Structure 1
Amino acid sequence: MTEKTLNLWPIGNCQVSALVDDRAGFVWGCQPQVDGDPLFCSLLEPKGDGRPGMPRGEWRFELEKQVSAEPRYLGNSPILVTRLTDEDGGAVDVYDFCPRFMQSGRLYRPVAYARIVRPVTGGPRLSIRLNPANHWGAENADRTRGSNHVRFLTDPAPLRLSTDAPVGRVLDGRPFRIERDLAFFLGADESFQGAIGPNVARMMEKTKRHWMFWVRGLAVPLDWQEVVIRCAITLKLCQHEETGAIVAALTTSIPEAPGSERNWDYRYCWIRDAYYTVQALNRLGALDVLEGYLFYLRDLVDGAEGEEVQPLYGVGGNAKLEEGVAECLAGYRGMGPVRIGNAAFTQSQHDAYGQIVLSNAQAFFDKRLFRAGDEADFHQLEAIGEKAAEKFDEPDAGLWEFRTRASVHTYSSVMCWAACDRLANIAGRLGLEDREQYWQAKSKHIRDVIEQRAWCEEKGRYSAIFDGDELDASLLQLVDMRFVEADDERFRATLAAVEKGLRHGNQMLRYASEDDFGLPETAFNFCTFWLIEALHRVGRDEEARELFEATLERLTPACLLSEDTDFKTGELWGNYPQTYSLVGLINCAMLLSRPWSSVR
């Protein structure tokens, strides 16, 4: 068996998604949404037996005597095309996508996966190996046969594969000769309307056009367009459009480092990660993601009713994400545990208050939005600001979500300052002079405390916690949050210390001290991008560009990144695709690219 890697290709439609390996195998995908039960879970190695010749939790097409597989995306879309070739030169193209297009006046994005197999040359013989899993890899989904379909008794709802391929060959996995196009539609347990071959082909064409029109509206930089476009599409796939939630990654429990047990479930909406995602997509002009997310945020704030806001929620807005272990999955390369849920929902992470306000602030200034922020929205945000003013100097778990200790983290405090600062700006925009003055006073008080307690006089730089001298990469965000200017000598001294203490060649640590699991063993990709941004802002553009180019060498063939990178081997680790990392790619490309005017 080929060792698993993160050379995976996401497909999706903002309702469901799947990760396809580089040999046309669906190895990860949950239904009815991204934080649901994985019907495709072979990426995390189910412990039980599959069916004869069919691994549990996988959907794979494979040629008899196959010698190569070459995946690529179809244009500016998440439609994947994989050419499979056998040793006699016979070849087929496999097209994989999740339907997404306008139909009958509304967006059609069903819980469905579609595949088309098209013969290219020769007389190749194809095996179809489809064996969805149930209950987190505990069992093969029961199945029943129809004349042109197979019904799978998956939870929480059964699925039906409609196809014009021989149903017997779908069930037994035996190879057969391919002489015509074959279509497959795995979706709701209901009759497929019309002829499946032509209709699935039309779905693919409509889906392609939908995505190409979406990409056409992006304000991409001149340089690194392919990377930026692929990152933007993938960030869009990380939004659960029904609610507006944006997940941190599509996977759970890919270890941050081999055997580290730093295995976390990232299929939820962190307020922090989502803030950075909409910030990056706003720079590209993808306002539809922002508008959907703001709906999700307003709903969360309403539901909190003035109480403390959690750092993360389920894609449906559910608050309780109890953490457990999927005992029937061995884990990525057998490196468990595989976690379901995330105990960080119980933590206090005060930076969330700033990120809620910062995400909402654009709605009060941007005239392109369908729904502009109004005075009622402002007063709702004031409740968040009051929490920020109350909590800014209290210990929390911080943005790195420490599980066994709490401190007053400078990043969290500065985000609380930003909440009050931006509320003052919004009040001024709305002509509410008394509220503007009120929030200016709040922000000044918070700033004064931060300057007093986060500045380490002995080291001549800012500290990552109050009244200490700790370093972490989040100090590089002080400029992005507008707390200091890039030419401020205090920031330059802090940058020099962070670079000396946390940089390993072309990569960055989050922090260099021991945490709940010991010393960090891999670089955190987002922090590398923070360093690139900081180098650019202080005028070290050549170094920033060199570091960015070195980072691009670590991209998967799909032009994406996971969360972490091994210092020595350059291998990717951590959940994938990671929104933080994709945000960093977009932001740095936008900062470092040549202007479009240079080619006019």
Structure 2
Amino acid sequence: MQKHTYNLGLIGNCAFLGLIDTDTAVRWLCWPRFDSSFVFGSLLDDDKGGEFSIKPATGTWESRQCYRTNTNVLCTEITTADGRYRVTDFAPRFSQYERYYKPLMFIRKVEPLEGSPRVRVACRPVGQYGQLALNRRRSSNHIAFLGLEEEIRLTTNIPLTYVLDEEDFALNDTKYLVLTYGAPLEAPLESTAERFLLSTLDYWRRWVKSTSISAFHQDQVIRSALALKIHQYEDTGAIIAASTTSLPEAPGSTRNWDYRYCWMRDTYYILTAFNNIGHFEEMERYFHYIANISTKVKDKYQPLYGISGASDLIEEELPLAGYLGNQPVRIGNDAYTHIQNDVYGQVLVALLPLYVDCRFLDPERPNPEKLVLEALNLIETTMDQPDAGLWEFRNLAQYHCYTYLFHWAGSHAARKVAHSIGNRDMEARAERLIQAATDRIEQCFNQERGVYTNAIGSPHLDASTMQLILMGYLDPASEKAAHHLVELEKELKTPEGLFYRYRHADDFGTPETTFLICSFWYVEALACVGRVDEAIREFEKLTTYTNHLGLLSEDVDAKTGSQWGNFPQAYSHVGLVNAAYRIAQKLNKPNFL
């Protein structure tokens, strides 16, 4: 089978995200929010997905795509028989008037580099996931697309006739296309586009300069950090799992899910990643998003929420062809209805720095006693309640080891908060819950095999139990930790070094592809137990599973190295950042060159 990769570049400014193909076509862009309908969505349907491209007029051509160094500004160079041209794509982001300027504005700069290449521009946005064709209105120097809540406008110095008729023309000088949603560009086109480009380049390079990372695989860590950064919806602080929906975990698997939401199970790992690279602003925004959710929770936390904190994420299927014909195409995610009890510990561990880390000083932060007591109540209430687990089994409830690990970790965090505010009763209660969680984790231990299984009474192994080592439940220097990891390797590791989440059948059969975050957990676990040389080798193997720009998918087919699942996957980039940090710590390399 041929290797499948997503030949797409990611652009964004923390208000929207876009995916650009190597042929210059915008395959995915949702407006006005991450979780809105696409306005360009040919990734899921060539006919209904609209188009925004600057392609060669005729003949064969070659393409090369790269980022401007240390930025989220993307360049695509096209070479044809007639000449060569470059398309520079970016979403403006920079500091202005003591705030970040991050408009719903997508800028494309088109430059001839050699000869006189002929190009054809197409711009046909759509609405309602391809069900709504927009009306076009021609003005003096722009085209308005009407039919959505707000106007989409294309402002350009390309003759509008060429764009409207999609006629090819000779590219003899630099052209600009500025696409906006809502507020249009009312300033000079060329000079504004150039100023925005220089300001955006400067913003990203300053952001990277302020990143605290070691010399260990610095280029890949920077790319992962940049990708992770623009998966944060800055308006609320939410960080989504991926920018896309319905890219299959494996072809024909029907595991096609909408990942444009904020999963509570990711909270601890995401905040750890931002902490590891020294970016506290993103952490604070995410803290506030989680704290906002925590104040409205009554009887339970959901596994995931919308980027606005919305609770109802009703799952629907759309009449679209699907990525490479893979159906169904889903929006919404029914996992919000699931019982996933590790979330209470996740929230406590995630919010702990707000109350015990002196770098975070916020007089308006939520009352810690109320929040911690409510979370402890939920841990105690659900201690003997089976749940869907972090992998969100749809028709199976068990007493999961991973859930008890976060009961344990969350109770530890609660104890620290209680100690810092002098609440002895809360501290004692947290102690009791630590012991209760420990008792249940130990019930998952299989004495005969010397390994922790995925759930009480279950024979199956699960990569998530590597967290027993990474979170300090097991002493990494102990024989028990070393043997546990060896047993997981025997059952879940592929010859290529990739890791399955699990190998037993679930609601959709046996998983066909490996889950990339688990492979990075494995790297961390190797480093923790002292197998550092192996950790480095496995890390370097994993970097070969990126696409041409260093971007990671959710899943990898071990046999072909193919990328599958939603893309880019923030969770995978989090895994890379944290694994690199763990190795650097073991190598005793400081967070500077």
Equivalent residue number for residue 296 of structure 2: 303
Equivalent residue number for residue 466 of structure 1: 456
Equivalent residue number for residue 481 of structure 1: 471
Equivalent residue number for residue 135 of structure 1: 128
Matched, 1:440 2:431: yes
Return closer, same or farther for 1:154/1:271 CA change in 2, 3 Å cut-off: farther
For the 8 Å contact 2:3–2:561, the answer to whether it is kept is: no
Instruction: State the shift of 1:66 in Å.
Output: 5.2
2:67 aligned to 69, 73, 97, which one? Answer: 73
1:438-457, Cα deviation, whole Å (9 max, x unpaired):
31222123222332x22223
Equivalent residue number for residue 53 of structure 1: none
Matched, 1:153 2:146: yes
Q: Distance in 2 between matches of 1:188 and 1:339?
A: 24
Where in structure 2 are there 5+ consecutive unaligned residues? none
For the 8 Å contact 2:477–2:530, the answer to whether it is kept is: no
Report how many residues are paired: 588
Q: Distance in 2 between matches of 1:375 and 1:239?
A: 22
For the 8 Å contact 1:68–1:84, the answer to whether it is kept is: yes
Return closer, same or farther for 1:556/1:23 CA change in 2, 3 Å cut-off: same
Q: Distance in 2 between matches of 1:69 and 1:468?
A: 51
SS in 2 for 1:119: strand
Instruction: State the shift of 1:595 in Å.
Output: 4.7
Matched, 1:324 2:316: yes
Equivalent residue number for residue 51 of structure 1: none
User: Structure 1 residues 402-411 or 127-136, which shifts more?
Assistant: 127-136
Return closer, same or farther for 1:375/1:164 CA change in 2, 3 Å cut-off: closer
The code of the aligned residue for 2:451 comes to R
Identity %: 37
Give the 4+ runs in structure 1 shifted more than 6 A.
372-375
For the 8 Å contact 1:366–1:372, the answer to whether it is kept is: no
Return closer, same or farther for 1:82/1:262 CA change in 2, 3 Å cut-off: same
Q: Distance in 2 between matches of 1:208 and 1:416?
A: 43
User: Structure 1 residues 249-258 or 581-590, which shifts more?
Assistant: 581-590
1:410-442, Cα deviation, whole Å (9 max, x unpaired):
101110121111110122223333422331222
2:525 aligned to 523, 534, 543, which one? Answer: 534
1:128-277 correspondence runs (5 A): 128-277=121-270
For the 8 Å contact 1:393–1:413, the answer to whether it is kept is: no
For the 8 Å contact 2:394–2:507, the answer to whether it is kept is: yes
1:396-475 correspondence runs (5 A): 396-451=387-442, 453-475=443-465
The code of the aligned residue for 1:480 comes to L
For the 8 Å contact 1:414–1:450, the answer to whether it is kept is: yes
User: Structure 1 residues 197-206 or 114-123, which shifts more?
Assistant: 114-123
The code of the aligned residue for 2:72 comes to P
Return closer, same or farther for 1:599/1:423 CA change in 2, 3 Å cut-off: closer
1:246-290, Cα deviation, whole Å (9 max, x unpaired):
100001011101111110000000011233112111100111111
SS in 1 for 2:259: coil
1:486-538, Cα deviation, whole Å (9 max, x unpaired):
12333222212111011111111110101111111111111111111111111
Return closer, same or farther for 1:515/1:124 CA change in 2, 3 Å cut-off: same
Equivalent residue number for residue 85 of structure 1: 79
For the 8 Å contact 1:456–1:468, the answer to whether it is kept is: no
SS in 1 for 2:549: coil
Q: Distance in 2 between matches of 1:154 and 1:78?
A: 30
Q: Distance in 2 between matches of 1:478 and 1:13?
A: 36
Matched, 1:555 2:546: yes
Instruction: State the shift of 1:46 in Å.
Output: 4.2
Instruction: State the shift of 1:94 in Å.
Output: 0.9
1:87-135, Cα deviation, whole Å (9 max, x unpaired):
13x2222111111112223211111211111222211222111111221
Q: Report the TM-score, using the length of structure 2 for normalisation.
A: 0.95
Q: Distance in 2 between matches of 1:374 and 1:63?
A: 54
Equivalent residue number for residue 386 of structure 1: 377
Q: Distance in 1 between matches of 2:147 and 2:342?
A: 39
Equivalent residue number for residue 37 of structure 1: 37
Return closer, same or farther for 1:596/1:497 CA change in 2, 3 Å cut-off: closer
Return closer, same or farther for 1:154/1:475 CA change in 2, 3 Å cut-off: farther
Where in structure 1 are there 5+ consecutive unaligned residues? 49-55
Q: Distance in 1 between matches of 2:503 and 2:149?
A: 43
User: Structure 1 residues 360-369 or 142-151, which shifts more?
Assistant: 360-369
SS in 1 for 2:194: helix
Equivalent residue number for residue 26 of structure 2: 26
The code of the aligned residue for 1:137 comes to G
Instruction: State the shift of 1:375 in Å.
Output: 7.9
For the 8 Å contact 2:119–2:171, the answer to whether it is kept is: yes
Q: Distance in 2 between matches of 1:524 and 1:242?
A: 30
Q: Distance in 2 between matches of 1:297 and 1:231?
A: 23
Q: Distance in 2 between matches of 1:583 and 1:29?
A: 23
Q: Distance in 1 between matches of 2:365 and 2:130?
A: 48
Equivalent residue number for residue 280 of structure 2: 287
For the 8 Å contact 1:389–1:420, the answer to whether it is kept is: no
Instruction: State the shift of 1:596 in Å.
Output: 4.4
Q: Distance in 1 between matches of 2:42 and 2:592?
A: 47
Q: Distance in 2 between matches of 1:165 and 1:435?
A: 67
Return closer, same or farther for 1:143/1:418 CA change in 2, 3 Å cut-off: same
1:77-116 correspondence runs (5 A): 77-88=71-82, 90-116=83-109
Return closer, same or farther for 1:150/1:517 CA change in 2, 3 Å cut-off: same
Return closer, same or farther for 1:443/1:154 CA change in 2, 3 Å cut-off: farther
Q: Distance in 2 between matches of 1:3 and 1:166?
A: 41
Q: Distance in 2 between matches of 1:240 and 1:154?
A: 25
User: Structure 1 residues 363-372 or 258-267, which shifts more?
Assistant: 363-372
The code of the aligned residue for 2:68 comes to L
SS in 2 for 1:44: coil
Equivalent residue number for residue 497 of structure 1: 487
Instruction: State the shift of 1:5 in Å.
Output: 4.4
Instruction: State the shift of 1:373 in Å.
Output: 8.6
For the 8 Å contact 1:221–1:595, the answer to whether it is kept is: no
SS in 2 for 1:310: coil
Q: Distance in 1 between matches of 2:17 and 2:569?
A: 14
2:348 aligned to 354, 357, 361, which one? Answer: 357
Q: Distance in 2 between matches of 1:346 and 1:598?
A: 41
Equivalent residue number for residue 15 of structure 1: 15
Q: Distance in 2 between matches of 1:274 and 1:422?
A: 14
Q: Distance in 1 between matches of 2:546 and 2:335?
A: 29
Instruction: State the shift of 1:231 in Å.
Output: 0.6
The code of the aligned residue for 2:206 comes to F
Return closer, same or farther for 1:150/1:368 CA change in 2, 3 Å cut-off: same
SS in 2 for 1:96: strand
Equivalent residue number for residue 573 of structure 2: 582
User: Structure 1 residues 377-386 or 543-552, which shifts more?
Assistant: 377-386
Q: Distance in 2 between matches of 1:281 and 1:3?
A: 32
